[in-house]
Amino acid sequence: ANLLDVPASEVIMKCLELGLVVTINQRLDIDTITLIAEEYGYKVEQQFATEFISEEEEEEEEVDESMLEPRAPIVTIMGHVDHGKTSLLDYLRKSNITAGEAGGITQHIGAYEVEYEGKKITFLDTPGHEAFTAMRARGAQVTDIVILVVAADDAVMPQTIEAIDHVKAAGVHMVIAINKIDKPGADPERIKQQLAERDILVEDWGGTYQCAEISAKTGQGVSDLLEKLLLEAEMLDLKANPHKRAVGVVIESRLDKGKGPIATVLVQDGTLKVGDHFVAGHHYGRVRALLNEKNERMKTAGPSQPAVVLGFEGIPQAGDRFVVMKDEKAARELASKRQQLKREQEAKQVKMLTLQQISERIAQGEVHDLPIVIKADVDGSAEALADALINLNTDEVKINVVRKAVGPITESDVLLASASGAVIIGFNVRANLKAKELAEKENVDIRTYRVIYDAIDDLKSAMEGMLKPSL
């Protein structure tokens, strides 16, 4: 937007027209940039593209088809609240006989492996679609198959439908688990009927979705479910190359008192080893140790295997891509480049906020603070306006009055607004010419009103993330 000399919101609008939902702090790919630049009569040169746009030097290794080996499916459990997602995860974990070790104290690390008839299945153990969507929003798709749990003594419910929508949007495979069949009121056929009404036809209704009738409480039908999962996985023909540097996704992270920043990484391709230098998001690190969910040390983690990684320099975010680099230098360089980029974006963000953009970001839950500078003709109205606006505060969004004063809008108001990312609200006053010029340069939004209620209305809509663009 800066290079084209148009407001960022205009570029966002153009993206929307292209069917891309983007936010202000998102990087666009070269094709999108080319299309948008063309609309303004600019031509994008490739040199420019590599400098600013390319997904940095993660240096993909060459794909060698002959090196590919089957990998375990990665499964997420979704469904309506209380339909038995957690119970199913618990049952699977308890009955898990990986490598013949039953029992043992396990900890929640975000994912675990189950072995069934010699084959492995990886379960993400944050049930529900919030985690799934949050990861997807960050560009990380880790799930191969979703198990949709529906309670046989209940019905297809709002979150069942939401889960179906997410599965469809993500294009992942789905297996249905009709749960609680041990309960007296259980009626699996009714559930199948209700699913059919939503265009989800299970196999014995002539459809393509595999369906198992289970009880997460007694374990009845769970092996049938696992068999169906493995069959689904076979159809997907999931493969990865374990003979290369690891690539994966951070699925959980936290600061541990003794161990420092730690994160669970789900390896998607390659093999992760102790000693590897890596980049996760904008953090660099070196694998000091790999732990499984029993807190035992592992030497390596291969495709579809989760591992707690020790050795991060900072705490990565869930959904961050995790990439092993060829050496320490490459890892450090990439991480510092990303940090630099992040700083630049943050610096830009403070300066580039109109009320409209703030409103959009509130709608996305990215902003919880709305700084404003109030200028009015008389003290009484400045006070009244400030009081009325502060009354709009909610738990989610707070108006923060950075300055409240009498008189025309001046350069000093604009500078303050620019430094604090604030919007200027003028009541019965105007901005002088110099202030207007500076505001233009600094991208500070000046809004003037003659009726106090209009100001309140606009701010209220902005806080609800509903402000309409003023044309």
**Does the annotation list 319 as a binding residue?**
no
221 binds ligand GDP (CB under 6 A): no
Interface with ligand GDP, residue 245, by CB under 6 A:
no
Q: How far is the CB of 181 from ligand GDP (least distance, A)?
A: 7
C-alpha distance from residue 351 to each of 7, 28, 96, 417, 459 (Å):
12, 20, 53, 9, 19
Q: Among 15, 74, 78, 84, indicate the residue that binds ligand GDP (CB under 6 A).
A: 84
Query: How far apart are alpha carbons 18 and 33 in whole angstroms?
Result: 11
- Which position among 78, 113, 116, 127 is part of the footprint of ligand GDP (CB under 6 A)? 127
179 is in an annotated binding site: yes
- Which H or E run contains 184? none
- 82 annotated to bind ligand: yes
129 is an interface residue for ligand GDP by CB under 6 A? no
Q: What is the DSSP secondary-structure string of 278-329?
A: EEETTEEEEEEEEE-TTS-EESEE-TT-EEEEEEESSPPPTT-EEEEESSHH
Residue 174 or 399 having the CB closest to ligand GDP: 174
If the CB atoms of residues 77 and 310 are measured against ligand GDP, the closer one turns out to be 77
Cα separation of 193 and 214, whole Å?
17
C-alpha to C-alpha distance for 407 and 378, rounded to whole angstroms: 8
Does 283 bind ligand GDP (CB under 6 A)? Our answer is no
Q: Which of 180, 283, 321, 375 binds ligand GDP (CB under 6 A)?
A: 180
Q: Does 316 belong to an annotated binding site? A: no
87 binds ligand GDP (CB under 6 A): yes
* 181 marked as part of a ligand binding site: yes
Among 93, 119, 183, 286, binds ligand GDP (CB under 6 A): 183
Q: Is residue 179 within the footprint of ligand GDP (CB under 6 A)?
A: yes
The answer to whether 128 is annotated as binding is: yes
Which DSSP helix (H) or strand (E) runs through 261? Answer: strand 260-269
* Residue 79 C-beta: closest distance to ligand GDP, Å: 6
Q: Is 261 labelled a binding residue?
A: no
Nearer to ligand GDP, 89 or 385 (CB): 89
- Cα 85 to chain center, whole Å? 21
Q: Where are the beta strands (DSSP E) in 32-172?
A: 69-70, 74-79, 111-116, 119-124, 145-151
Which residues, other chains included, contact 252 with Cβ-Cβ below 8 Å and sequence gap of 6+?
A: 109, 110, 126, 263, 264, 318
For residue 312, how many C-alpha atoms fall within 13 Å in the half-sphere facing its CB?
29
Q: Does 86 bind ligand GDP (CB under 6 A)?
A: yes
Task: Choose the stretch contacting ligand GDP; rule: CB under 6 A; options: 84-92, 139-147, 258-266, 379-387.
Answer: 84-92
3-state secondary structure 228-251: HHHHHHHHHCCEECCCCECEEEEE
The DSSP element (H or E) to which 382 belongs, if any, is: helix 379-390
Phi-psi region of 237 (alpha: psi -120 to 50; beta: other; left: phi over 0): left
Among residues 24, 36, 73, 83, which is the contact residue for ligand GDP, using CB under 6 A?
83
CB of 318 to ligand GDP, least distance (A): 19
CA distance 301 to 247: 11
* Min dist. Cβ of residue 192 to ligand GDP (A): 17
Binding to ligand GDP (CB under 6 A) within 146-175 occurs at none
Contact at 8 Å (CB) between 179 and 142?
no
Binding of residue 306 to ligand GDP (CB under 6 A): no
Q: Which stretch binds ligand GDP (CB under 6 A): 33-41, 215-223, 291-299, 339-347?
A: 215-223
Q: Is 311 annotated as a binding residue?
A: no
* Cα pseudo-dihedral 340, 344, 346, 350, rounded to 10: 160
Contacts with ligand GDP, residue ranges (CB under 6 A): 79, 81-87, 127, 179-180, 182-183, 215-217
The annotated binding site for GTP is made up of 79-86, 125-129, 179-182
